[in-house]
Amino acid sequence: MRTWTPPELPALPGTGVAPKLFNTATERLEYPAIPEGRAHLYVCGITPYDATHLGHAFTYLAFDIMQRAWRDAGIETVYAQNITDVDDPLLERANATGADWRALADEQIGLFRSDMHRMGMLPPEHYIAVTEQIDEIAAAVRELLDRGFAYTVPTADAAGDDIYFDTAAAERDSQWRLGDVAPYDRETMLRLSAERGGDPERPGKRGPLDPLLWRAERAGEPSWETPVGSGRPGWHIECSVIARGALGGAFTVQGGGSDLVFPHHEFTAAHATALSGTPLAHAYCHAGLVSYHGHKMSKSRGNLVFVSRLLDGGADPSAIRLGLLAHHYRSEWEWHDSDLAVAQRRLEAWRAGLLRESEDPTPAAAVVRQLRSAIANDLDTPVMLATLDAALDQGVDAPGLVADAVLALLGVQL
């Protein structure tokens, strides 16, 4: 899929250091492996309806900042993102509104692309829709069947069988173990599976957590003719195949919002390990979930604040970025409508501070050093913002350097 034009990214004097990142899988801060100085990042993309809300923007901004940190440290980045452009909730929305699912997806992908561009987000080098990789995904399902990691479950309402991943077989015959990614007990996994697209109660499965790999064609649903029958792929195998196809084995970071830890990232990793014998990623990083009006901002609840509406209403994209960056990417927090005005005031204060004549200006080189040390500490943007509040309140000796650092590391235009 087409992406969007990259934002300006000034080079700063000297180099930063590679960031230490919190790995969900080990629950520790780590330096994930970056072979040959190239960091490979996969971030789970949108299901294209109700895009782009501030929860989405917070997650994509976290991984935008991660790449800015790597680039400033002299590390090249290769970024892949998917689009889940065929999936139950998208089809349900299209049915409910009488829209064609393909037209809905295309319109929302266009809106997301425009929002990402306006927000100054670094675009992925590989931007891949599920519907562009059906053959590759079906081939992976075929291989899982052939190697005993998958089984069929008969259907009452379809001509063919559904296909499921055999969790117990994978634990026995591959290097993957349930819980490798998600630090949860079994009871929590069962609850999350039911809440997040799984079907632990479905009769005929070998294990309740076994996830769907292939859904046989149902009347009125889009489907593709493949070597595993006519139908469409399950959710986790899509990201597993797209990520490995774009980035290869054991890449640097698998990312997304924390609602994806289980079952999505657990089974994305399980499928990849069963297929390739190597882990999917060196680290699994997750952004905290943004709430609004007391609940997680979600399409199902409808409590959404759209980036495009804020921008169309005259909001400065840099102010929206500052409103989000005021929270550490792993924190769970609530957006209040007043947050935008607070961020706008901060942005204006910084812009004024840049022009301030001072008797005793803060050395810009020291500001850059402090920004680099904060971003290297698990992308600590609240500390970066506090550093800039203090420095710009006092005035700086080299405003151009500070403006470049703010643009390069935070994507905020002063």
By CB under 6 A, name the binding residues for ligand 5CA: 44-47, 55-56, 58-59, 82, 84, 239, 256-257, 259-260, 287, 289-290, 296-298
Angle between helices 266-276 and 134-146 (to 10 degrees): 70
Which residues sit opposite 212 in a β-bridge?
164
Residues contributing to the annotated binding site for L-cysteinyl-5'-AMP? 44-47, 59, 82-84, 235, 257-259, 290
Query: Tokens standing for 22?
Result: 């919190």
CA-nearest of 184, 145, 182 to 165 is 145
Taking the complex as a whole, the smallest distance from the CB of residue 328 to ligand 5CA amounts, in Å, to 13
> In the complex, what is the shortest distance from the CB of residue 260 to Zn ion, in angstroms, rounded to a whole number?
6
* Partner from Zn ion, ligand 5CA, none binding residue 122, C-beta < 5-8 Å depending on class: none
196 binds, among ligand 5CA, Zn ion, none (CB under 5 to 8 A by kind): none
Which of ligand 5CA, Zn ion, none does residue 257 bind to, with CB < 5 to 8 Å depending on kind?
Answer: ligand 5CA
Provide, rounded to whole angstroms, the least separation between the CB of residue 284 and Zn ion: 12
User: What are the beta bridge partners of residue 334?
Assistant: 291
Half-sphere exposure of 367 (CA within 13 A, CB side): 29
CB nearer to ligand 5CA: pick between 256 and 411: 256
Least Å distance, CB 224 to Zn ion, is: 19
Residue 44 found at the interface with Zn ion (CB under 5 A): yes
Whether the Cβ atoms of residue 161 and residue 202 lie closer than 8 Å to each other? no
Q: Which is nearer to ligand 5CA, 18 or 54 (CB)?
A: 54
Strands (E), 200-316: 212-216, 224-226, 229-233, 251-257, 281-287, 290-292, 295-296
User: Among all residues, whose Cβ is closest to Zn ion?
Assistant: 44
Contact 253, 41 (CB under 8 A): yes
Q: Where in 264-374 does DSSP place strands (E)?
A: 281-287, 290-292, 295-296, 333-335
Q: Which two tokens stand for residue 382?
A: 């609240």
Report residue 270 as tokens.
């399980």
Residue 140 binds Zn ion, judged by CB under 5 A: no
Residue whose CB is less far from ligand 5CA, 234 or 256? 256
CB of 6 to ligand 5CA, least distance (A): 20
Here the tokens at position 354 are 């840049």
What span, in angstroms and rounded, lies between the C-alpha atoms of 171 and 160? Answer: 27
Neighbours of 199 (CB within 10 A): 17
Choose one: 53-61, 174-182, 232-240, 281-289; the region binding Zn ion (CB under 5 A): 232-240
**Residue 47 or 252: which CB sits closer to ligand 5CA?**
47
Residue 56 touches which of Zn ion, ligand 5CA, none (CB < 5 to 8 A by kind)?
Answer: ligand 5CA
Question: Which stretch in 40-48, 114-122, 143-151, 318-326 sits in contact with Zn ion by CB under 5 A?
Answer: 40-48
Residue 58 interacts with, from Zn ion, ligand 5CA, none (CB under 5-8 Å by kind): ligand 5CA
CB of 266 to Zn ion, least distance (A): 12
Residue 131: contacted member of Zn ion, ligand 5CA, none (CB under 5 to 8 Å, by partner type): none
Give min distance, CB of 52 to ligand 5CA, in A: 9
Residue 185, Cβ neighbours under 10 Å: how many? 9
The alpha carbons of the chain give a radius of gyration, in whole angstroms, of 22
CB nearer ligand 5CA, residue 58 or residue 70: 58
- Peptide bond between residue 263 and the one before it cis (omega within 30 degrees of 0): yes
Residue 121 in contact with Zn ion, rule: CB under 5 A = no
Nearer to Zn ion, 263 or 323 (CB): 263
Strand order in the sheet with 38-43: 126-129, 76-83, 38-43, 251-257, 281-287
- For Zn ion, which is the closer residue by CB, 255 or 395? 255
The answer to whether the CB of 268 falls within 8 A of the CB of 137 is: no
- Evaluate whether 213 touches 150 at the Cβ level (below 8 Å): yes
Among Zn ion, ligand 5CA, none, partner that 213 touches (CB below 5 to 8 angstroms by kind): none
**Least Cβ distance, residue 8 to ligand 5CA (angstroms):** 25
239 binds Zn ion (CB under 5 A): yes
State the nearest-atom distance from the C-beta of 394 to ligand 5CA, in Å: 35
Residues in the chain: 414
Query: Using the rule CB under 5 A, is 209 a contact of Zn ion?
Result: no
Ramachandran sector of residue 395 (left: φ over 0; alpha: ψ -120 to 50; beta: rest) = left
Would you call 385 helix, strand, or coil by DSSP?
helix
Give contact residues for Zn ion (rule: CB under 5 A).
44, 239
